Amino acid sequence: MSPTDPSPVHDDRRRSFLLLFSTLLVVGFGNTMLLALLPPLARRMGLADTSVGWIFSLSALIWVFASSFWGRMSDRTGRKPIIALGMGAYAVSMTLFALICVVGINHWIGPTAIFIGLMLSRAIFGAFGSATSPAGQAYVADRTAQDERTEELASLGSAFALGAAIGPALSGVLAAKIGPITPLFLVAVLAAGAALSIVRFLPESKTPELPLESRRDTSWRLALDPRVSGHLIYGLGVSVVTGMLLQTFTFYTMDRLKLDEATTITYASNGLMVGALALLATQLGLLRVLKLGARSLMALGAIVIACGVLMQIWADTLSLLLVSQFMTGIGFGLARPGFSGGASLSVKPEEQGGLAGLVVAVNGAGFVISPLAGVTLYGAAGMHAPLWLAVAILVSMTLFALMSRRLRSTGGVSSSPGGGAEAG
């Protein structure tokens, strides 16, 4: 029976995909919320600005290697247990992170101990929370025909973008009304609920029946495969720029507009929400209209992101910062489907788990580099230095997308998995 047949089996598939959508929405909600809350919280706890980047960096470094492992593991054990494991670990990570923040803002222990505690609690997410995304993407790939796969993966990727839009908005309201720690505990509860829902309601009666060859450690072999290596190189550039812009935006808003802590959380949350909504609208609407190939999406996306960054350099009001975030959101909504969708269409069905792990790993890899390229450069050379570096990287990415021979065999992508700033 085809995955697209109108039948009870097809209805079960839709419900399963909706459950996965809700699960990744929670991940997007929590990760983007942290980007708005942590910078002012760090200053309140007596931590250096650069500590924010390094807290995310360790998690991202672990994420790069762990996500590939979990993608391969889901090929062997089935997708469901790996997805549930990731969400359970996310709940534990966020609970510990919130408790350490409570200790930190009350100054019950010193800043060094707080910094180490936050890094380790976030490392749990990098090591085990990284299981959800690659297994979830592979679950969808297992159950879709090739002509519908990119659209279904796009819908799954848009879940992260929707969560990224809700997270800053809701966290800003909760932080103003109840305090900045409340949203952290809320995410922990939602993640635990998602993990239990996966265990109880996600159908998977047996492990995938894959050829023996596909059970080998093929992910890093795939990384060097000319079918996908060009897409992954471009994806690394997207990831680095994403990490730099996200990790410095709240600091930039605070310092550029000279705001206090409460106002900073509100303004930065608004900016992050606008960017996420623009990305979501691009993935769910604009991509279907443009119907561009992956190579064109990659080039156009990098150009639009660069324009948004230049707008941010020029912006000196909240309105202009929101416009800059809107432009970068559109750009990322074009660029990410270009590299991830093109890569997904280039490999065999039995390679989807390994590839999904690589795509998720690449999405996190930039957050390993971004503390040095972003937050540290921000403190050492001024608030505009990371933005000019981002523009330089984006120009290089545009040229690579237009000229690289590795991308010449890329097929068309009308809509495809977006992915998001999942790591960190």
What pLDDT digit, counting tens, does each position of 361-412 carry?
888 788 788 777 788 888 889 999 999 999 999 999 999 999 887 775 444 4
Q: Give the CATH number of domain 11-202+214-407; options: 3.30.1960.10, 1.10.10.10, 1.20.1250.20, 3.30.70.1230.
A: 1.20.1250.20
Mean pLDDT of 96-112: 96
Give the whole-angstrom CA distance, residue 225 versus residue 241. Answer: 24
Mean pLDDT of 45-64: 87
The answer to whether the beta carbons of residues 334 and 304 sit under 8 Å apart is yes
Residue of higher predicted confidence among 396 and 353:
396
Residue of higher predicted confidence among 237 and 56:
237
Q: What is the pLDDT, as a whole number, of residue 45?
A: 95
Q: What is the pLDDT, as a whole number, of residue 167?
A: 80
Please provide the average confidence, as pLDDT, over all residues in the chain.
Answer: 84
Number of C-beta neighbours around residue 35 at 10 A: 25
Q: Residue 423: is its pLDDT beyond 70?
A: no
Mean pLDDT of 50-74: 85
The SS3 assignment for 104 reads helix
Mean pLDDT of 94-119: 96
Residue of higher predicted confidence among 317 and 204:
317
Mean pLDDT of 113-133: 95
% pLDDT > 90, the chain:
41
Residue of higher predicted confidence among 176 and 183:
183
Q: What is the pLDDT, as a whole number, of residue 77?
A: 86
Q: Residue 180: is its pLDDT beyond 60?
A: yes
Number of helices (H), then strands (E), belonging to the chain: the values are 16, 0
Residue of higher predicted confidence among 81 and 294:
81
Residue of higher predicted confidence among 358 and 80:
80
Q: What is the pLDDT, as a whole number, of residue 5?
A: 45
Residue of higher predicted confidence among 223 and 3:
223
Q: What is the pLDDT, as a whole number, of residue 218?
A: 54
Q: What is the pLDDT, as a whole number, of residue 37?
A: 87
Helices 294-314 and 229-256, packing angle to 10 deg? 20
pTM across the whole model: 0.75
Nearest to 358 by CA among 210, 212, 230: 230
Nearest to 393 by CA among 236, 247, 249: 236
Mean pLDDT of 304-327: 96
**211 confidence band (pLDDT: 50, 70, 90):** very low
Mean pLDDT of 155-165: 77
Q: What is the pLDDT, as a whole number, of residue 424?
A: 59
Q: How many CA atoms lie within 13 A of 227 on its CB side?
A: 14
Mean pLDDT of 142-166: 74
210 phi/psi in degrees, rounded to 5: -110, 150
pLDDT tens figures, 261-304: 788 888 988 898 899 889 888 877 888 788 788 888 999 999 99
Q: Residue 171: is its pLDDT beyond 70?
A: yes
Sequential DSSP letters for 195-248: HHHHHHH----S-----GGGGSS-HHHHHT-TTTHHHHHHHHHHHHHHHHHHHH
Q: What is the pLDDT, as a whole number, of residue 151?
A: 64
Residue of higher predicted confidence among 199 and 78:
199
Residue of higher predicted confidence among 192 and 164:
192
Q: What is the pLDDT, as a whole number, of residue 413?
A: 46
Beta bridge partners of 293: 412
Q: Residue 169: is its pLDDT beyond 90?
A: no
Q: What is the pLDDT, as a whole number, of residue 86?
A: 97
